[in-house]
Amino acid sequence: MKTLLKTVAAASLAALVSHTALAEEINFGIISTESQQALKPKWEPLLADMSKATGLDIKPFFASDYAGVIEGMRFGKVQMAWYGNKSAMEAVDRADGEVFVQTVSSTGDPGYWSLILAPKDSKLNSVEDLLKCDQSLNFGLGDPNSTSGYLVPMTFVFGANGVDPKACFKNVTNANHETNAMAVANGQVDAAANNTENLALIEKNQPAAFAKIKVIWKSPLIPSDPIVWRKDLPAEAKAKIKDFFLTYGTDQSKGDVAKEKAVLEGLAWAPFRASSDDQLLPIRVMELAKSIAKLNADTAMPADQKKAEIAKLEAQKAAFEDKIKKNGQS
């Protein structure tokens, strides 16, 4: 019996030590909206302040694409991350993620907008011009897990018009927001997806490039970016992290509030606000609308099968829309 008790005690201690070690070191994933060189100096001050305030060792985790951060969270290499809504949805569905706070724009906007950009001197001035679909244009889409760079234009521009970009354009490339904007400015593509947040950065940091760009399409409002943690993060660590985010840059902060506000301004943000997985509901509706449009355009699927599949997706979409109405979301 004594041997058994000693074995159980040792196992419990080992589990406790392992659990504590996990809580002490947090890898924070940062999606590749820009190059790592551009993102690193913006994020390092925030992560350093988070480490100091929480007593946790917060380390940045960069990947070459959004999927790298999602997969990092899925396999436990990333415990927390900044995502766009589409990539957050993937993290929630596939990587045991959970939205707990949301960014807030320093401009006071309730979210941001997806854009399609074209060179200033281009003959393209509208979606109608873009979708002539004679395979003469080169188009830049965002990362496949990007909300504004991929999901929104695929839903509201291409899906809504029954257009497959690969059949419409001469070439379709995928790149981050910064690369797409510069490709438009330099005439390397005829048009590209982007968003209002990144375009504001281009205007601030690369005004010469900004002067060569025009907007030919703007989307409905997209909810501000979520911060996601893994559900299995220890409760004590969660409490410290959430308190940090909800007080950072506010009068409740225990740090240098003026400095914290400057750090947030570097990210084009105001203080964070609490959120939940419900902020992803409009994104789920968009994803389903895109899937329904794709099915409607499918000429190979038997009619009965297509009808059944569409009915199933429409029911899911209606359920999400009802939940949005109950929550009072726009």
The CATH number for 124's domain is 3.40.190.10
Q: Which of 257, 277, 297 is at the close of a domain?
A: 277
Please indicate, yes or no, whether residues 165 and 197 belong to a single structural domain of this protein.
yes
pLDDT tens profile 45-92: 999 999 999 999 999 999 999 999 999 999 999 999 999 999 999 999
Q: Domain check: are 88 and 175 in the same one?
A: no
DSSP 279: G
Reading the block at residue 280, the tokens are 């992803």
> Is residue 260 over pLDDT 60?
yes
- Distance, CA of 224 to CA of 90 (rounded, Å): 16
Identify the helix (H) or strand (E) that includes residue 89: helix 85-94
CA 165-34-116 angle, 5° bins: 35
6 in the same domain as 94: yes
Q: What is the pLDDT of residue 157?
A: 95
| 212-233: average pLDDT | 96
Whole-angstrom distance, CA of residue 191 vs CA of residue 176: 14
Query: Same structural domain for residues 96 and 237?
Result: yes
Inform me whether the pLDDT recorded for 120 exceeds 60.
yes
- Where among 254, 277, 300 does a domain terminate? 277
Give the mean pLDDT of 308-312. Answer: 96
pLDDT value of residue 192: 98
246 and 165 both lie in a single domain: no
What sign has the CA pseudo-torsion 173, 176, 181, 186? Answer: negative
pLDDT above 70 for 242: yes
115 and 218 co-located in one domain:
yes
Q: Which residue has the higher pLDDT, 129 or 5?
A: 129
Q: Locate 162 and state its tokens.
A: 């029954």
Residue identified by tokens 């205007």 is 203
The tokens of 234 are what? 């220890």
Give 164: exposed, middle or buried? Use CB within 10 Å, 0-12, 13-18, 19+.
Answer: middle
Which pair of structure tokens corresponds to residue 259? Answer: 């400095």
> Of the ranges 12-21, 59-68, 100-109, 116-125, which one carries the lowest mean pLDDT score?
12-21
> How does strand 138-141 pair with strand 171-174?
parallel
Beta-bridge partners for 28 = 60, 80
pLDDT band (50, 70, 90) for residue 298: confident
Computed over every residue of the chain, the mean pLDDT equals 91
| 179 and 228 inside one domain | no
Q: What percentage of the chain reaches a pLDDT higher than 70? A: 92
Q: Tell me: do 162 and 304 sit in the same domain.
A: no
| 270: three-class secondary structure by DSSP | strand
Question: Same domain for 186 and 101?
Answer: no
Residue type, 205: N
User: Domain tally for the chain?
Assistant: 3
Gyration radius (Cα) of the chain, Å: 22
235 and 93 fall within a common domain: yes
In this predicted structure, the answer to whether residue 9 has a pLDDT above a threshold of 50 is: no
Least confident range from 104-113, 258-267, 271-280: namely 104-113
Better-scored residue on pLDDT, 256 or 4:
256
Q: Residue 95's domain spans which residues?
A: 2-108+224-277
- Is the pLDDT at 327 greater than 90? The verdict is no
**104, 230: one domain:** yes
Average pLDDT of span 5-22: 44
Give the CATH number for residue 314.
Answer: 1.20.58
- pLDDT band at 270; cut points 50, 70, 90: very high
Question: Which of the four pLDDT bands, split at 50, 70 and 90, describes residue 24?
Answer: confident
Does one domain contain both 120 and 213? yes
Q: Which two tokens stand for residue 221?
A: 């409002």
**pLDDT computed for residue 100 by the predictor:** 98
* Contact in structure between 129 and 216 (CB atoms under 8 Å): yes
Residue 214 has pLDDT above 80, yes or no: yes
